[in-house]
Structure formats: structure tokens, C-alpha cells
Amino acid sequence: MTYMCYSDLMRYLSTRNRNETTGFAQAALGGLAPDGGLFIPEEIPLYPKAVRSSLGDMGFCDVAFETIRLYTAGEIPDGTLEEIVHSAYTFNAPLVPAGDRLVLELFHGPTAAFKDFGARFMARCFSYLRRGEDRPLRILVATSGDTGGAVADGFYGIEGIEVTVLYPRGRVSPLQEKQIAGLGENISAFAVDGSFDDCQRLVKAALGDAELRRKCDLSSANSINVSRLIPQAVYYAAAAGKAAKGKWDEDGEATPRQKAAAPPHIDSSALTLSVPSGNFGNLTAGLYAWKMGAPVTRFIAATNINKTVPDYLESGNYQARLSRATLSNAMDVGAPSNFERMAAHFSWAEMKEILLGVHVSDEETRETIRAVHESSGYFLDPHSAVGWRAADKLRAEGRLSGGALAVLSTAHPAKFAETVEPLCGPVPFPPSLKNAMNREAHFRNIPADEKIFIETVGSL
């Protein structure tokens, strides 16, 4: 892998065609490459030395600016990017102690899920890149849970942009459905008779349909979109910088804790990050941050029983499968789109050097939620519990040694109260979720049929 100089213009290419490149704006607004591949940076940039050594001392917005500017060089002026970053990130990603490890809390945004970091930047970025356009842009997004709510909130009320969210009917929580389908105005929702993989297939088919693209300006807000992926590298860099200096944060407003935490001792010699993983956009962003110079030693690719990538890491044989429903529904992905990006950047041998793959059952997930709350008073949602338990399993096998351990908490446990409360009792609800619960969901049922969906989008 090669690296860019700080002042170079970033170019993007398709995972399926390395002979043609484009700029950030075209990659972001296009969503999917013309050949059906995913856009990736031609080269992963390296943080300048001064930035790399200061990550643990910088504010979150400063880390965001220094990270994202490397990928938007020459297309978004620094002053504009600073405005976008400060508008998007009115919340933080605290790194707090819980039990014998750290938790990187990614649920302090308006929809209480990590998707807020990518979606809010993307919405403001698109508004700037589309300035002066007469024809509206329609964004198509498939969700297995949290993405849809974050994208709906991020783009709600953005002039000149219409959003259509697809989600598997009956496979998202009631709260997630209200976040997805409860806003109205420029946000429309489709409940698909099928799985998340079906939703994703419909979106890809529509984005790749030449006739539909002649009728409409289309893009995507899934993690297949590079403008949603890149901002997710920010919280990895910010957290790794803190851990490398032995730092941690006080609890934030939404931190779900009942007992005071003891001040931690952080072994700054190494950092392992356990990442709950479904479509693998989040972990791909972490790999970007690592390649940029963030001080991360290894990642745990923690999945539920949809263990396509852990199996690949073990065997070297990638085999996509149909997804199976679990408690951690946002991770119910059998054919993760972002694996195509991972494979474009890294060989199997290279992935095995930095990634440890583990899968966790629903019963293990329940046990972990209960045990962590009993021991430390900390509430985990099902997805974060998968990340926690995966690290426990590796420790029991002697495969983790030394250094700090941090688990990414990707959603607030109140979003999954129907699972968490029978195990732990009442979960504290942050104000943003209380507001969402008062909404009424409005959606259209649709079969998992590509032709019908394309025709429907063309008539909107």
C-alpha cells in the first residue's frame, strides 16, 4: 500500500476497475460505481506526523477535520469543511471505562447509533456538493436497523434531496421503524417482504438501472457510499489517540450506567478494538484509520451467527450466504457489501495479521448483557454485547495478550429495550429516543422484486 502526500488530490476508483478514476464529489454523489463496484480511495492517505502525534490531545471536530480533509482534498475548501464538521458533530464519542475494559460509545447522536457519524456528515456534504442544482437528488438506502433512522434524521429537511429507505418488514424494532418511517416530508419508507440482503439487492438494482438513472438523479447512503464510510474512521482515530496516551472520558449524557466506574488503568502499549460487524462498513473504516496511522494493534471482527467473514478469516474461502435473523438485527447480513472493499485493499494473509474473527450466538448475547450489568451496572445493547463477548472468547482461548481493550458500542440499549429490560430491568432512555417513540410510522409495503421497485422509484 502506498500513501499520498498531504497536498495531493484524492482520486477514487471502483473495486472492479482500477483503470478509471474519479474525484470525491462524483464518487459520493454517484454512490455506486458505473460497473457495480464500490468506490475506494486510489491510495489510503497517511496522517501528517504532527497530526498523528496529537490525536489524543485534539477535540473530536479537529480529528474529524484532519481526517476527512485528506479524502476531500481539492473539492471541499477547508473553511467549508470546518463548517460541515462542526454542524454535523454537535455530539462526541466518549471512551469510557466499563468493567475490565473501555467502551467507545457511539450512540450520543440524535438517533442513538453509530450511523449518525456518517449520515450527518454525508447530508451536509451532499448539500454543498449539490449547490445550484435544479433537479432533486433521490437517495436510496437499505437498512437492517440503525442506518435508516440515521440517514432519515441526517437528511430530514435538506432542500433538494429526497430519501427512500428500504427495511425488512418485521425485522426491525418498533423504535427503529418509527425513526425510519416517522418523519415524513422528504423522507419515504418501504417495508420489504424479505431480508436486509433483499433490500440491498433492490437498491443496487435501481442504482444500476440505466433507464431509471436517466429519469432521476440517484445516489445511496449505505456504507457502500464512500462519503458515509470515511467519517467513521474519525472515531477510531480519536479513541486510539486517547488510549495511546492512557486517557479516557467521563460519562456522557446518554451513558447507560447504574454504578460508578472505577478509574481505569490503561495499558497504552497496544490497543485492541472489538467491532460488532454486519455489513462491515464500520470495520472497513477502522482499517482505514489504522492505515492512516491511528495507533491500533488489532481488530476483532465480531459477528452474530451470520459469520461469513469470520469463516473467511479462518479458511481463506469467502462464501456469501442468506442472512439469518438474530437479536442483533442490524448485523444480520450474510453477504456483506464492504467485504469487497476489504478484499480490494488487503489480501487474506494481510487481513489475518490485523483481524481476529469471532461469532457469537443469541444465547451468549443474552448472557453477556445480563452478566455485564450485574457486575458493573453498565447496559449493553445486543450488538455491543456481541463485541464484548467476542473479546471474552478470545481471551479464554489465550488469543488476546496485553494492551488496552475497547469495545465499540454501536447503539444505545434503550433502542432494544424489549431484549435488554427482561435481562437487566428498566433501561434509561435518552431524550432523543423519547421523542422518536411519539412518532407514527408511515410506510409502503413492497415485495422483494427488482422490477416492481424500479418502477415504483421511477414514479415517485
Distances, alpha carbon 402 to alpha carbons 286, 303, 395, in Å? 20, 23, 10
Residue 358's DSSP bridge partners are 302
Distances, alpha carbon 209 to alpha carbons 21, 179, 203, 225, in Å? 21, 29, 10, 17
Distances, alpha carbon 211 to alpha carbons 106, 202, 214, 265, in Å? 39, 15, 5, 59
Residue 359's DSSP bridge partners are 303
DSSP string of 279-343, one letter each residue: SSHHHHHHHHHHHHT----EEEEEESS--HHHHHHHHS----------SSGGG--SS-TTHHHHH
What are the two backbone dihedrals, phi and then psi, of residue 8, each rounded to the nearest 5 degrees?
A: -70, 155
Distance of alpha carbon 64 from alpha carbon 89, whole angstroms: 9
> What residues are annotated to the active site?
115
Residue with cell 419508507: 189
The SS3 call for residue 6 is coil
Distance of alpha carbon 186 from alpha carbon 194, whole angstroms: 25
One-letter-per-residue 3-state SS of 160-186: CEEEEEEEECCCCCHHHHHHHHCCCCC
The SS3 call for residue 115 is helix
β pairing state of 12-14 and 17-22: antiparallel
The number of C-alpha atoms within 13 Å of 381 and in the hemisphere containing its C-beta is: 28
Distance of alpha carbon 308 from alpha carbon 117, whole angstroms: 26
Distance of alpha carbon 375 from alpha carbon 379, whole angstroms: 11
**In the numeric block, which cell numbers belong to residue 289?**
484509520
